[in-house]
A and B are shown apart, each in its own frame.
Chain A
Amino acid sequence: MIMRGARTLATPAKYLALAAYLVFLAFPLLWLVSTAFKPPQEMALIEPTIIPENPTLENFRLAFDQQPLARALLNTLIIAGVSALVTVLLSIPAAYVMARYRSVVSRMTTLWVLLSQMFPFILVIIPLFLLLRDAGLYDTQIGLIIVYVVWSMPFALWMLRSYVAGIPAELEEAAAMDGAGRLRTLRDIVAPLLVPGVVAAALFAFVSAWNEFLFALVLLRTPELQTISLTLVKFIGAEGVARLGPLAAAALVATIPSLVFFAIIQRRLVGGMLGGAVKS
């Protein structure tokens, strides 16, 4: 009886906790949306409201007028898209080899990939900068793409390696028994089963590149090449004063592509993450 009472109380408490967590997660985005549509006077109210009293699109006009947002979005889309594509294309065969061939080289590579994740951004930024400059890739989008690919690949490799390891080797052996060559086995048996992992790795690489700031700051100089994160920070001035309205409007615009991308592949991503989580 007491147990049942406790259970009756526990269920609403769980839902309440879940609702509180959702509000906690959604509130910054909600505030961003609210601020984007507020005139400056409403941002300085002592009792701010979530719903703007006099909603305006002026912040969006200012954001697009004063900074090259459209160009920055296009640049970021190209850089993040190509980075994700190249990361995945390079990671798939590498992850397959790491998962299937248990040699010393494979183990050393796995260890090195893990170690490479230990270096903080700030430690590698100047050597990386010098390398790219000497290679003629400073202030180029290709240079930044290479950096993003190198930076995203270790995690993508680990993720995909886990997915490959989760595919029973017996399936490949059965294909071989039926006369399929290595390449055909990879294409027709392994690749379709890897799709969720590939989607997850691509999403990770895309979002990482989309949001990245420090490498872009240091490696790009020409205004026409700059990414959205570099453009957003230009709405922040000395002593921490921000032009909050245009900043919120620009940040909202910058968030939309990521949200859309995520919404489109979300189902595959969730399935993919679960699929890779357990090695059968």
Chain B
Amino acid sequence: MRRATIVSATVLSAGLVLAGCGSGDDAGTGDGGDGPVTLTFQSLAFQPESIAANQQIIEQWNADNPDIQVEYLQGDWASVQDQLVTAFEGGTAPDLIHYESSYLQDFADRGWILDITDMVSSELRDDILGGAWEAVTFDDAVYAVPFLLDAQVIFANKTLLDAAGIPVPAPDDPWTWDEFAETSKQLTDADTFGVAWTLKDPANRMLNLALNFGGGFFEESDGASTVVFGDGEKEAFQRIYDQLYVDKSAATDAIGMGGSDPLPGFFAGQYAMLPKGIWFRQQIIDQAPEGFEWVTIPALKGDSQAQAAAPQTISIAAESEHPEEAMAFLEYMLNPENQALLAKGDWMIPASSAAAQDPILTETPDWPVAAASGEFLEQAPFQRVRGYEEWKNKVANPSIEEYFANSISLDELGTRLTEDGNEILERYNR
């Protein structure tokens, strides 16, 4: 009898727990027949300030627009690709999707995101930098609104620069690559390397730097893309290689690093300079020991200071039942005032030219350098290449890592990037 009671209680408990299990509908994602429209917005905001800015914007919108309510979904950079692909395939994608421009072409080809060319207001179109619009435009169709931009700069240990008598270059008079190489040698001694190039998954960064010397890596003919590796493409590779193995002014132990890995060496004075994205200011501020003095050095100049504009973007899912309402929210979310808030939260450059003048940004450390870097962002050829992501992951990243580890020659690298790479691209060109 007692055992029967225990069994019954166990089964009953399981039933109660199962009954208590939630579903998404409990959270109110579904639309009622005559109720307000509910939009879902998946954000990849990562920094607490950025998450707070997103939520603040949405709360204000929801308060002002009772008929169009926006639900905030928190995504994450580490797994967003798998999650989005499955959601698109299964027809459960969020209405509004935060991601980055390099994935838009693929998503657009598969019909997953909406062409919003005719939905964008003239105010928003005029406010956002031309290079940023180019990065989200494919075959004359606009597939997202760009809003956050990154730019490559160099962070330097100010104490070491001062001790060596090296002045900090002004944004309108940046170092050339030659001057940078000389400075790096000057800062190198028994305890310090002049520079730490962190080159984990280096393809995007190297393709970006190659633009300084006119290296575009891809040529298009009759709608088909091929990889090229000429003098313009080789220049930045050769210069960094020389710093590592000829001048020995760059730390070889840093080439396998990514993320925040080089910070301990930077703070300890082992690396005098650290080339990174402008957003990295936040990491330095967060973790720098008391009294550590640092400065942001403008992007280097080769033939130009050109860099690829690879903005973070917000798209509307093609399957959204409320595209007009989604666009209305997008116009509000990415107005200049809100873009300034979002850019500050992520320590990045807003795509909005009006937002770039906002005091909440201009008062952040080294803002003139960040703003000046934004002026040289342009559409890069690789951003339009179908199959670029596969080429990058299967060929470029591993081969470039081998080159900088001094395992293969520059010619061998070129052979791999072009011959192996073109085999991949051929499949996409068919």
Residues of A within 8 A of B (CB): 40-41, 43-46, 48, 62, 66, 75, 78-79, 81-82, 85-86, 89, 125-126, 129-130, 133, 138-142, 145, 187, 213-214, 217-218, 220-225, 233-234, 236-244
Known: A44-B264, A239-B277. 17 other contacts (CB 8 A): A43-B287, A44-B260, A78-B20, A81-B17, A82-B14, A126-B89, A133-B90, A140-B23, A145-B21, A187-B3, A221-B87, A225-B22, A225-B27, A233-B76, A234-B74, A236-B77, A237-B46
- Chain B 70-106, CB within 8 Å of chain A: the 1/0 string? 0011101111001100110111101000000000000
Q: Which residues of A contact B263 (CB under 8 A)?
A: 44
B24: contacting residue among A81, A89, A139, A233, CB under 8 A: A139
Q: Is B82 a contact partner of A217 (Cβ separation < 8 A)?
A: yes
Q: Which residues of A contact B287 (CB under 8 A)?
A: 40-41, 43-44
Q: Is A82 a contact partner of B27 (Cβ separation < 8 A)?
A: no
Q: Which residues of A contact B76 (CB under 8 A)?
A: 233-234, 236-237
Report the separation of the CA atoms of residues A243 and B48 in the bound assembly, to the nearest whole angstrom: 10
B17: contacting residue among A40, A82, A222, A224, CB under 8 A: A82
Q: Given the interface contacts A140-B23, A225-B24, A236-B76, does A133 sit within 8 Å of B91 by beta carbon?
A: yes
Q: Which residues of A contact B83 (CB under 8 A)?
A: 217-218
Report the separation of the CA atoms of residues A218 and B265 in the bound assembly, to the nearest whole angstrom: 39
A141: contacting residue among B14, B23, B44, B72, CB under 8 A: B23
Q: Which residues of A contact B92 (CB under 8 A)?
A: 133, 138-139, 221
Q: Which residues of B contact A225 (CB under 8 A)?
A: 22-24, 27
Q: Which residues of A contact B91 (CB under 8 A)?
A: 133
Q: Is A78 a contact partner of B21 (Cβ separation < 8 A)?
A: yes
Q: Given the interface contacts A40-B286, A214-B82, does A141 sit within 8 Å of B29 by beta carbon?
A: no
Distance in Å from the Cβ of B85 to the closest Cβ of chain A? 8
Q: Which residues of B contact A141 (CB under 8 A)?
A: 21-23
Residue of B nearest to A62 (CB): B48
Residue of B nearest to A240 (CB): B259
Asked if B117 is at the interface of the complex by the 8 Å CB criterion, the answer is no
Asked if B166 is at the interface of the complex by the 8 Å CB criterion, the answer is no
Asked if B267 is at the interface of the complex by the 8 Å CB criterion, the answer is yes
- Chain B 258-286, CB within 8 Å of chain A: the 1/0 string? 11100111011010000001000001001
Sorted nearest first, the 8 A-B pairs with minimum C-beta distance are A139-B24, A237-B46, A141-B21, A140-B23, A46-B268, A240-B259, A222-B27, A222-B24
Q: Given the interface contacts A44-B264, A217-B83, A242-B259, does A129 sit within 8 Å of B24 by beta carbon?
A: no
Distance in Å from the Cβ of B319 to the closest Cβ of chain A? 13
Q: Which residues of A contact B79 (CB under 8 A)?
A: 213, 217, 233
Q: Is A222 a contact partner of B21 (Cβ separation < 8 A)?
A: no
Report the separation of the CA atoms of residues A238 and B347 in the bound assembly, to the nearest whole angstrom: 13
Asked if B288 is at the interface of the complex by the 8 Å CB criterion, the answer is yes
Asked if B168 is at the interface of the complex by the 8 Å CB criterion, the answer is no
In chain B between 20 and 36, which residues have their CB closer than 8 angstroms to a CB of chain A? Answer: 20-27, 29
B74: contacting residue among A86, A217, A223, CB under 8 A: A223
Distance in Å from the Cβ of A162 to the closest Cβ of chain B? 25
Distance in Å from the Cβ of A115 to the closest Cβ of chain B? 24
Q: Which residues of A contact B290 (CB under 8 A)?
A: 41
Can you show 28 pairs from A to B with CB atoms below 8 A apart?
A43-B287, A44-B287, A44-B289, A45-B267, A62-B48, A66-B51, A78-B21, A82-B17, A86-B14, A129-B86, A130-B89, A138-B90, A139-B23, A140-B21, A141-B21, A142-B21, A145-B18, A187-B3, A213-B79, A218-B82, A218-B87, A223-B72, A223-B73, A225-B24, A234-B76, A236-B76, A237-B77, A242-B259
B90: contacting residue among A126, A142, A217, A223, CB under 8 A: A126
Distance in Å from the Cβ of B43 to the closest Cβ of chain A? 11
Q: Is A41 a contact partner of B24 (Cβ separation < 8 A)?
A: no
Residue of B nearest to A218 (CB): B86
Residue of B nearest to A85 (CB): B14
Q: Is B18 a contact partner of A82 (Cβ separation < 8 A)?
A: yes
Q: Is A46 a contact partner of B22 (Cβ separation < 8 A)?
A: no
Residue of A nearest to B290 (CB): A41
Distance in Å from the Cβ of B44 to the closest Cβ of chain A? 8
Asked if B406 is at the interface of the complex by the 8 Å CB criterion, the answer is no
Which of A133, A142, A221, A224 is packed against the most chain B CB atoms within 10 Å? A221
Q: Which residues of A contact B94 (CB under 8 A)?
A: 221
Q: Which residues of A contact B277 (CB under 8 A)?
A: 239
A238: contacting residue among B10, B29, B46, CB under 8 A: B46
Q: Which residues of B contact A133 (CB under 8 A)?
A: 90-92
- Chain B 169-188, CB within 8 Å of chain A: the 1/0 string? 00000000000000000000
Report the separation of the CA atoms of residues A244 and B74 in the bound assembly, to the nearest whole angstrom: 19
Q: Which residues of B contact A187 (CB under 8 A)?
A: 3
Report the separation of the CA atoms of residues A209 and B21 in the bound assembly, to the nearest whole angstrom: 15
Q: Is A241 a contact partner of B259 (Cβ separation < 8 A)?
A: yes
Q: Which residues of B contact A234 (CB under 8 A)?
A: 46, 74, 76
Q: Given the interface contacts A85-B14, A233-B79, does A46 sit within 8 Å of B259 by beta carbon?
A: no
Q: Which residues of B contact A223 (CB under 8 A)?
A: 27, 72-74
Q: Which residues of B contact A238 (CB under 8 A)?
A: 44, 46, 77
Distance in Å from the Cβ of B14 to the closest Cβ of chain A? 6
